[in-house]
Amino acid sequence: MLTTKPRGTNDILPGEVEKWQYIEKVIREVCQTYGYREIRTPIFEHTELFQRGVGETTDIVEKEMYTFKDRGDRSITLRPEGTAAVVRSYLENKLYAGTQPLKLYYIGPMFRYDRPQAGRYRQFHQFGVEVLGVHSPGIDAEVMAMAMEVYGRLGLKDLELHINSLGCPQCRPLLKERLQEFLQPHLEGFCQQCKGRYHRNPLRILDCKSEKCKQLSEGAPTTADCLCPSCAAFFDEVKRCLDLLGIDYVVDKNLVRGLDYYTHTAFEIMAKGIGAQSSVGGGGRYNGLVEACGGPEIPGIGYALGLERILLAMEQQGAEFPPAWRPDVFLVTACPEAEEEVYKLLADLRELGYSADKDYMGRSLKAQMKYAGKLNARRTVIIGENELKNGTITVKDMITGEQEEIKREKITVLLGGK
């Protein structure tokens, strides 16, 4: 039906969109505090970017991407996440030639063909941060502290920061060997996807959503069991930096991020009571991603927070939002002859920075006052025959009900100036 939105999408309506604007405003303020600058990348990219960057064994690439052929027979994909696109832009625009590290953030829609549920949709919105050009435990701790500050400024409480280390290319062969040894006796019981992952990337099996696969992999070796001395020391330093910043965390040895590009630090932020999935955001270090996308060996770290998940958590925790918008002034036309004067005053007030509106429906005086009440206008300004004759306006306080007639030019004094 033409009057029905596609499954897994949402209309963000007036009254609700102001909540989104508030969240985005807080995000931008935090980013400015931490020295991050905004980047905007295309909503669609060449499919190969996500295959190489995100990983061919991930659920995203195998099952969830919106991929199509354009009129030039090129394979195009609506972006399922933001990091790969930022890295592509970083390379294409030679941003690595500037001062490093480069701190970037983005806000925008992403697309995954997933089963819609509370706070998770097929078109969803992410706020993401990427830091490129530095391999430092201190910056790892900073991005986690930054994510927690966003939540704190939005009034969210009782969140848990879960952290883990996924090791490096030197650790992974040992982990792969131990995982395959542990999983091999149970291989026939796994889902078809996990059977395919057994040889290519057994770590992905630990991220499978199937309850049976979760049971069969319970007790499997973890990344923490196989860290090389360098990775173990790096992770210890990350924890020390978090302690210095006063950030509480839980070391979660079973934490496995759903994308192949992660190395070293990985983290997720959990909130209780927001549906089957308690994660409201997460991220980690991806030192091999720039190279996988065809660039030089440049380290990076980032995270993404789902705006729908943030909004759901805020509403369930009773977090406060700013008051709903309402006009400073609603202009009431009390007679047809006043229409021109009302129209000019409306323009003057807007030019001075006031939020002002008027009736365009030809309503009666009584209906205009009622409409001003529905808009929750702070004041109404009434202009009729008497006001036109005397060069005045009648101002009514919609909260107290008090009204007074003043000279037209004194309205800004009454309103408090701008």
Boundaries of every domain in the chain: 17-171+227-317, 329-415
How high is the pLDDT of residue 169? Answer: 84
Q: Which token pair is 235?
A: 């992770």
How high is the pLDDT of residue 174? Answer: 84
How high is the pLDDT of residue 224? Answer: 80
Give CA–CA dist 101/140, Å, rounded: 13
* More confident position, 95 or 205: 95
How high is the pLDDT of residue 126? Answer: 96
Does 55 score more than 80 pLDDT? no
Does 407 score more than 70 pLDDT? yes
Give CA–CA dist 313/278, Å, rounded: 9
258 CB burial (10 A radius; 0-12, 13-18, 19+): middle
Does 17 score more than 90 pLDDT? yes
Q: Which token pair is 284?
A: 């980690």
How high is the pLDDT of residue 262? Answer: 78
pLDDT averaged over every residue in the chain: 90
194-202 LR contacts (CB < 8 Å, sep 24+): 196/57, 197/57, 200/56, 200/57, 201/55, 201/57, 201/176, 201/260, 202/176
The predicted model gives 208-227 an average pLDDT of 83
How high is the pLDDT of residue 416? Answer: 65
DSSP state of 60: I
Alpha carbon 289 to chain centroid distance? 22
Percent of the chain with pLDDT over 90: 65
Q: How confident is the model at residue 1 (pLDDT cuts 50, 70, 90)?
A: low
Give CA–CA dist 339/334, Å, rounded: 8
How high is the pLDDT of residue 320? Answer: 92
Q: How confident is the model at residue 273 (pLDDT cuts 50, 70, 90)?
A: low
Considering the segment(s) 17-171+227-317 as one domain, its CATH architecture is 2-Layer Sandwich (3.30)
The predicted model gives 124-139 an average pLDDT of 97
Does 329 score more than 80 pLDDT? yes
Beta-bridged to residue 397, according to DSSP, are: 379
Give the number of other CB atoms < 10 A from CB of residue 29: 13
Contact 6, 56 (CB under 8 A): no
| Residue 149 to residues 114, 269, 366, Cα–Cα distance (Å) | 29, 12, 49
Percent of the chain with pLDDT over 70: 95
* More confident position, 376 or 292: 376
Q: State the DSSP H helix or E strand holding residue 374, giving kind and residue range, or none if neither.
A: helix 365-374
Does 324 score more than 90 pLDDT? no
How does strand 75-78 pair with strand 102-111?
A: unpaired
How high is the pLDDT of residue 139? Answer: 98
Does 59 score more than 80 pLDDT? no
Amino acid at 43: I
How high is the pLDDT of residue 220? Answer: 83
CATH superfamily of 329-415: Anticodon-binding domain (3.40.50.800)
Whether the domain at 17-171+227-317 and the domain at 329-415 fall into the same CATH topology: no
Contact 162, 345 (CB under 8 A): no
Rg of the chain on CA atoms, in Å = 28
Does 413 score more than 80 pLDDT? no
Give the number of other CB atoms < 10 A from CB of residue 198: 18
Least Cα distance to 31 among 150, 141, 151, 144 occurs for: 150
Q: How confident is the model at residue 277 (pLDDT cuts 50, 70, 90)?
A: low
Q: In degrees to the nearest 10, what's the CA dihedral of 58, 63, 66, 67?
A: 80
The predicted model gives 197-213 an average pLDDT of 79
Does 417 score more than 90 pLDDT? no
Give CA–CA dist 70/78, Å, rounded: 12
Does 144 score more than 90 pLDDT? yes
Q: Which token pair is 181?
A: 């040894």
* More confident position, 119 or 236: 236
Beta-bridged to residue 403, according to DSSP, are: 396
Write down the residue that tokens 């090389």 correspond to: 228
pTM of the model: 0.86
How high is the pLDDT of residue 204? Answer: 74
Does 261 score more than 80 pLDDT? no
